[in-house]
């Protein structure tokens, strides 16, 4: 499933969430994840254009990603 406002509640109690480039990491989703206890988003991709980095920083959620794909 994709991470959306409707599915973010499934991360209740998870300090780390693994996400992909097509997941919704907008401010509302990040806020819900923070309320659920998430403090780290691990992107399993190089892209992060769907991540609201300003919101993540304000909430204190660290975002990490792979630096590049291997050839």
- Domain coordinates of the chain in residue numbers? 8-64
Asked if 56 and 41 count as a contact pair (C-beta separation under 8 A), the reply is yes
Count of Cβ atoms closer than 10 Å to residue 34 Cβ = 17
pTM of the model: 0.90
pLDDT of res. 8: 96
User: What are 38-65's pLDDT values in tens digits?
Assistant: 999 999 998 888 899 999 999 999 999 9
Residue 26: CB partners within 8 Å, gap ≥ 6?
50, 52, 55
Which is the CATH superfamily of the domain at 8-64? NAD(P)-binding Rossmann-like Domain (3.40.50.720)
């Amino acid at each position: 499933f994709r991470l959306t406002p409707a599915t973010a509640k499934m991360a209740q109690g998870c300090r780390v969430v693994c996400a992909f480039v097509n997941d919704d990491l907008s401010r509302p989703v990040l806020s819900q994840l923070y309320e659920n206890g998430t403090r780290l988003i691990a992107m399993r991709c190089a892209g992060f254009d769907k991540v609201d980095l300003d919101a993540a920083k304000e909430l204190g959620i660290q975002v990490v990603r792979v630096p590049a794909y291997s050839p």
